[in-house]
Structure formats: structure tokens, C-alpha cells
Amino acid sequence: EALLRRMNRYGLLDEGQNKLDYVLALTVENFLERRLQTLVFKSGMAKSIHHARVLIRQRHIRVGRQVVNVPSFMVRVDSQKHIDFSLTSPFGGGRPGRVKRKN
């Protein structure tokens, strides 16, 4: 019961799939789709899956109010819409990083 609830919360199973057979049918790809690294890339915030990993490790990504720097972070369904650039990140309108000179 607790396992099924957790799988629903992480978006691995739909609400109607409350049987153990559905859990046994899950593949590695189902879990990889819920990683922060994959979701950052699929949302268009990064140019590639590798770029997404670099952005996360360099603390440019937050989930809700919390800055997350672990690419393997499993994102819950309710947290998925709160993935954004961190407030201190130059990508998110924070302090500018390297800025081209205005000659």
C-alpha cells in the first residue's frame, strides 16, 4: 500500500494502477524519466541532457524554494511545475555572470 502511494506520488504509476503487477512492469526508463536532470532538459531549460547535469551541479536549478544540486533527484508530480532557475543564477535574472563589454 505504501509502495503504491509512493509510486503514485512520484508519477511512476497513474491513480488507477493500484496493483502490484503494475509495479513489477515498471522499467528503468520509467525511473530515469522522473530524474531532475531529465525534466530540466525536457522543459527546455538546458540544451542537452549533459548541459542539464552541469546546470544542476552548479546550483542554477531550484525545485520550489529549494536549490537542488543532485541530478538524480527524483521529482514528485506536484513539484514538477515548480522547477525553475534559482534566484541567484544569472540564467534566472540574478546577478549577471560574464557580461559582454559595451565598447
d(C-alpha 14, C-alpha 87), whole Å? 33
Is 85 part of a structural domain of the chain?
A: yes
Give residue-wise pLDDT tens across range 48-79: 999 999 999 999 999 999 999 999 999 999 99
Q: Kindly state the percentage of the chain with pLDDT values over 70.
A: 90
Whether 39 is in a domain gets the answer: yes
Domain of 52 in residue numbering reads as 2-92
Count of structural domains within the chain = 1
pLDDT band at 95 (very low <50, low <70, confident <90, very high): low
Residue 101 within any structural domain of the chain: no
Average pLDDT, integer, range 83-87:
90
Q: Answer yes or no: is 102 within a domain.
A: no
Instruction: Residue 68: name the closest of 78, 81, 53 by CA.
Output: 53
Note whether residue 77 is domain-resident.
yes
Q: Answer yes or no: is 13 within a domain.
A: yes
Residue type, 74: M
CATH number of the domain where residue 47 is located: 3.10.290
Contact partners, residue 75, CB within 8 Å, separation at least 6: 10, 11, 34, 35, 36, 39, 63, 83
pLDDT of residue 87: 86
Is 56 domain-assigned?
A: yes
> pLDDT grade, residue 17 (50/70/90)?
confident
Complete edge-to-edge strand list for the sheet that includes strand 61-63: 66-67, 61-63, 83-85
Task: Check residue 92 and give its pLDDT.
Answer: 76
By DSSP bridging, strand 83-85 and strand 61-63 are antiparallel
